Structure 1
């Protein structure tokens, strides 16, 4: 029944889109200030425990420019929309939509912008690309999921450093509850940070971040330092990110979490790419360490349509798996 509702919704959206100026991947422009779009992702995972098919990341987007100085974006997303477990025959899911992003941009100048509302935390590369169809692999590095809040409900002052438009900065902070605390990896009411990135003429960019946050209903404070590096020269794209987080507890005990990844993407053409990634994750408090190797393939018949597959090797037992996904940006 959930699957039938999902397919019916897609058909209705497709019919409605014909009534407006529409281009796949760019949404339907309803008027001068409003464009509506969306995306969905489906995935299949197979490991020693089970085989599952999931319709995931069903989302609706609305965005536009109010005038030359103000723009906005809103995004609602349902995660785990429908799931089928082929191992035991069970199925289920939730059609509840959550606020993933809801923010406005006030453009004071080309070099100075204020973004306010719920937004992506401006750290590194991976976290800035939340939509599955635009990423190169189905899976996310543990680095991007467990070390800092992926979203913040607050303010991000960002722009380019004067006289140096190759260096971008973000000064961000949150001191309130998240707009939707069911939909954030680390709920908090205290999150502050600074990130910088510099682009060199040699197709290389280097950046880093520092910050601190306190999880909701916890006295544990986490401070982190992060670094990222990218080399982008077609057909090869190399990215690396790493973070060291220090967890400070009320009993004066400190623990460290270290994580990072190195990923290479080789584009044989605009449609085909081969991906390799190595990840490292070490949590001193949980006494947990994992080394992960990933080999994947990406096929894009059109840029807003992605078909991906990967195999994961883990140093932890029983975690090796196969992942396949199909995703579309409307």
Structure 2
């Protein structure tokens, strides 16, 4: 373990113990923190067993410039949760990716299916303010990563800064909860991923070791501000220590929404250093009934390439039934040094 990771682990442990002491003294017992993704609260309850089954499916179609048009059944996820009405709960997400893919130049479908364990964790709640999660969970960095299920997002594509700048899953333990600060709610999460990831996705580069902190403060009037910090090493980058700094915000009112994230990653190997940085700003505006206009701007500079891009996305999202959303977007870029595809992208997603 590097000295940076030892320091990070010590600081995070100290903050966790202090928060736990405050929480036990001040916070009431109750439901789980809103750190949990919205998708966890959907599904079908099986009698009084405490077991809930749910999931989501997502089909996509793309017509990128210079490429054949293609369509795919991109995701099919099964969500299983259990709670005993008191302190213990369980959650898992098992996803089948790329069930079926076809393009305009192919004679038949292409099968490149992969079974992915997204989440598998057990939770114990001492109170709203202090809860323990053990297992595999979504890395609590920013907003998009923890609520990324297709029926819950406004665009088919995911912001570039949330794709590969950090591993999207962590296996280990997390303390989290909600603390009353200044009459408002402060969501906090401290997590450690000290070893191998449970059932890593093919071709991924999971955490080898990581220690992180996430804070999200409700300022009122529909505005939330967040910050994330993580010190980590990845499995396929042996000996390379990384630090990620990130801030984010969300504002919602009367169907309008503005959100954004900024992240900066420092990589150090020997005496050299490189960085990866990026940001996005996204706006959502109600048009008529359940139809919304969506616009997003992204800036992204991947590490080691010396190239970057500015990406512009405009589109529509039609939430025509509860849990259903149809999306259509057009993407174009300037200074596209990373070869990001441009053109039309659409999807149909359902949460059940």
Q: Which residue of 2 aligns with 1:127?
A: 145
SS in 2 for 1:152: strand
1:310 aligns with 2:311: no
> In the comparison of the two structures, how many residue pairs are matched?
305
Say if 1:36 and 1:61, in contact at 8 Å, map to a contact too: yes
Say if 2:328 and 2:344, in contact at 8 Å, map to a contact too: yes
Say if 1:99 and 1:183, in contact at 8 Å, map to a contact too: no
Cα distance in 1 for residues equivalent to 2:340 and 2:110: 24
1:169 aligns with 2:177: no
1:31 aligns with 2:44: no
Aligned residue among 162, 167, 172 for 1:154: 172
How far is the alpha carbon of 1:257 from its aligned partner? 0.9
* Alpha-carbon spacing, 1:193–1:270, altered in 2? closer, same or farther (3 Å): farther
Q: Which residue of 1 aligns with 2:59?
A: 42
How far is the alpha carbon of 1:269 from its aligned partner? 4.6
Cα distance in 2 for residues equivalent to 1:54 and 1:221: 37
1:323 aligns with 2:345: yes
Q: Which residue of 2 aligns with 1:280?
A: 299
How far is the alpha carbon of 1:268 from its aligned partner? 2.7
SS in 1 for 2:220: coil
Say if 1:294 and 1:311, in contact at 8 Å, map to a contact too: yes
Q: Which residue of 1 aligns with 2:206?
A: 187
Residues 268-324 of structure 1 deviation map (CA, whole Å, 9 limit, x = unaligned): 355111000000101241222011000010001112011000000012267312101
Say if 1:43 and 1:325, in contact at 8 Å, map to a contact too: yes
Cα distance in 1 for residues equivalent to 2:120 and 2:300: 31
Say if 1:150 and 1:185, in contact at 8 Å, map to a contact too: no
Q: Which residue of 2 aligns with 1:236?
A: 256
Deviates more, 1:293-302 or 1:116-125: 116-125
How far is the alpha carbon of 1:95 from its aligned partner? 4.0
Alignment of 1:1-330 (within 5 A): 26-32=42-48, 33-47=50-64, 48-164=66-182, 165-182=184-201, 185-217=204-236, 218-249=238-269, 251-269=270-288, 271-315=290-334, 316=336, 319-330=341-352
Say if 2:77 and 2:96, in contact at 8 Å, map to a contact too: yes
Cα distance in 2 for residues equivalent to 1:256 and 1:265: 30
After TM superposition, the score normalised by the length of structure 1 is 0.88
How far is the alpha carbon of 1:212 from its aligned partner? 1.6
Cα distance in 1 for residues equivalent to 2:159 and 2:181: 35
Question: 4+ residue stretches of structure 1 with deviation over 4 A?
Answer: 162-165
